[in-house]
Amino acid sequence: MKDIGSYPNVRLRRNRKAEWSRRLVSESNLSTNDLIWPIFIREGKNIKESIKSMPGVYRHSLDKVEGLVEKAVNKKIPMIALFPYTPISKKNSRGSEALNRNNLICKALRLIKKNYKNIGIMCDVALDPYTDHGHDGIVKKNYVDNDETIKILIKQSLLQAEMGCDVIAPSDMMDGRVGEIRKALDKNGFKLVQILSYAVKYASNFYGPFREAVGSKKLLRSDKKNYQMDFRNSKEALREVALDIREGADFVMVKPGMPYLDVIRLVKDNFKIPVFAYQVSGEYSLIQNGINNKILNEDAIYESLISFKRAGASAIITYFAEQIAGRLR
């Protein structure tokens, strides 16, 4: 770094003396434009079901979804992400419910798109909410079969696009799935449907509460290390991102978020593409439990989200989206 002067001529605290001054020189800022709100949906009517491991987060029946979308629109959150809780009776080894035209996601898409045109909807593309083994794809001989899984993911993507999904988000980590999904979307008249690739998804210990939320936690009998990334690696992330960009991804994701801020920065510095971050369920629960137990104050939420922006994230999927949006207006 070049010579930047010395004390007493230089006093860095001068720019920190008042709120207006700190605002003028702030390097990273957060707005509602940066937020994506994940919403868990379930079958039934008039249900708002708490998720034990995620205090303040709920599973909502479809008749409650429009009210949530209305909140997002009013708070100027640009996109929501839908995740289904699938009853065990509808799960099997191939995740067939993912291709049911009347599954929860399809019904929610039709409902929302009928009345709301100016909010984006992101849909997860993976089989773990629908399989009876909890894995993201087709398991053969205790190994997730990459190419067989992609065949189903293509069908799942096309179905979601047909129902009105704006952003297809493959989170499965199968090699080559982005390119195959992009080709299928284009061939079937969905050239403007965007792909948010979970390009850098680590085999992390921070996903536990999410798996409870979608009902896959108790079913998962082994880890996902043979398809999700090793958390010891960062340069591998650049290869994953490069491949997904070449295959047609419109945005890329780093997941989890806060333990991987270095990876967000690495991707941002190496590629000219929007980089999203997912503040995952384990991160949310740690912060929210800290607040509930008066270990942290609520400003920790804002601080955590600013850390993503400082690292270079273009947008953040966070369970705090609706809460923090009210403070940002």
Distance CA 296, CA 288 (A): 9
Gyration radius from the chain CA atoms: 20
Distance CA 184, CA 154 (A): 7
Catalytic residue among 75, 201, 224, 309: 201
**Whether the Cβ atoms of residue 257 and residue 278 lie closer than 8 Å to each other:** yes
Which residue, chain included where needed, has tokens 């009776």? Answer: 89
Q: Residues 72, 75, 78, 80: what is their CA dihedral angle, to the nearest 10 degrees?
A: -20
Distance CA 280, CA 284 (A): 6
Provide the token pair at 266.
């690495």
- Amino acid at the residue 229: M
Report phi then psi at 163, rounded to 5: -80, -10
Whether 201 is catalytic is yes
What Cα–Cα distance (Å) separates residue 241 from each residue in 231, 271, 280, 281? 16, 8, 20, 23
Distance CA 253, CA 196 (A): 7
Provide the token pair at 111.
């409902």
Distance CA 211, CA 231 (A): 19
Catalytic residue among 75, 224, 255, 268: 255
Structural element, H or E, at residue 34: none
What Cα–Cα distance (Å) separates residue 100 from each residue in 106, 129, 158, 241? 8, 13, 12, 31
DSSP-derived secondary structure for 83-102: EE---GGG-BTT-GGGG-TT
Whether 141 is catalytic is no
Strand partners, 79: 36, 120
Q: Would you name the residues annotated as active-site residues?
A: 201, 255
